[in-house]
Amino acid sequence: MNKKTLKDVDLKGKRVIMRVDFNVPIKEGKIGDDTRVTAALPSIRYVLEQGASLTLMSHLGRPKGKGFEAEFSLKPVAEHLAKLLGKPVAFAADCQAADTEVAALKPGDVLVLENTRFYKEEEAKVKKTDDMTDDELKAKKAELKEKQKAMAQKLASYGDVFVNDAFGAAHRAHASTAVICKYIGTSVAGFLLEKEIRYLGNAVNDPVRPFVAILGGAKVSDKLAVVNNLLDKVDVLIIGGGMAYTFLKAQGHDVGNSLCELDQLDYARQMIEKAKANGKQFLLPVDNVAADKFDAAAQTQVVGNDIPAGWMALDVGPKTIALYAAAIQGAKTVVWNGPMGCFEMKPFAAGTFGVCQAVADSGATSIIGGGDSVSAVNKSGLAAKMTHISTGGGASLEFLEGKELPGVAALNDK
């Protein structure tokens, strides 16, 4: 972590603009889970204690970028933040027209800007339509990039110091995450971003060994680069979830109706060979819970690595849970991204919760990333036993791939 952080700058009397990740579930104006809001509180409180004013910006959901959409408004989040802080929080109904609200801020005041993604230029993404020529696409991209620069400049005008504390959006080169850094004198990491990079960075680049990585989820294609990158770093790689059946098929097993990406079989074979060549343990299921349909009320049976025709594997079996637990038991560092099966349905939850228990019992430095893994850890009641639970699914995945995160790269170096 060679980037400047909040502790490296004098904030007294300054105007701070901070990118946070307030992308929380909201239904009928009520927040379902405020984890991401509470995760930003240490940075928010520190800025206020230092005698600065604070403007907060975030996205919420996936609005169409064509202006205000009530279901994606950040107003309920601003009201919730006021309760958490025990003080008033002002709200600006337009993130690009908040000059009056920003000018009214005094040291210790807080303002939340409306959803940055109400503007298309925040993301500056252009989709090519069937009737669009390559030249038209190029012109549209250039036009949107200019608008993105203008938006970043406007947001930068609200502060003297920019703080990025939104790890969940750090893999995006958006106006409010990375482009803003070009137009403001000081850009630093908040405490949450610093913590995320420290834990993930140490785990991947300087792990205490043995280092065990656990990858699950539906598709191999979602984690191609992650598998490849981690095989250069780990001692043991454990594969579960739907992606395991592409690897088993690549070894010649019948996988029935299980999830399987036929176009990834060559890649799967290459990764198995790479693990052998590198002397790494590459663990795949040895038994599976198969179902006759994708349903919590399905008929189930425990089978080996050949899934009967017409059946689908929806979880790893008891022998596999024991095998994986034994590998995790000796670990000093564990990174886990992705469930072992369809844990949302009780008959197919044992694998994910078994791995969860093994990680909790291991005593290893444990870093949990990815929405489903985090959800599973929270459901298991074992969250307190994990060293670090990441707030960024896509960002932690790209970090594990070895990619540079634009929202981090743009910050000032120490």
What are the residue numbers of the active site? 36, 219, 371, 394
Between CA 170 and CA 413 the distance in angstroms is 16
Q: Is 213 helix (H, G, I), strand (E, B) or coil?
A: strand
Class of residue 129 by CB neighbours under 10 A (exposed 0-12, middle 13-18, buried 19+): exposed
For residue 224, what is the DSSP state? H
CA-based torsion, 115, 121, 124, 125: positive or negative? positive
Tell me the HSE value of 63 on the side-chain side, using a 13 A CA sphere. Answer: 23
| Of residues 314, 358, 342, the one with CA closest to residue 214 | 358
Count of other CB atoms within 10 angstroms of residue 84: 15
Query: How far, CA to CA in Å, does 248 sit from each of 261, 287, 387?
Result: 11, 11, 32
Nearest to 354 by CA among 396, 318, 311: 318
Helical H segments across 119-223, by residue range: 134-156, 191-205
Within 157-264, residue ranges assigned H as helices are 191-205, 224-230, 244-250
Encoded tokens for 278: 């590198």
Q: Which residues contact 305 (CB under 8 A, 6 or more apart)?
A: 248, 251, 253, 284, 285, 286, 287, 288
Cβ(19)–Cβ(166) below 8 Å: yes
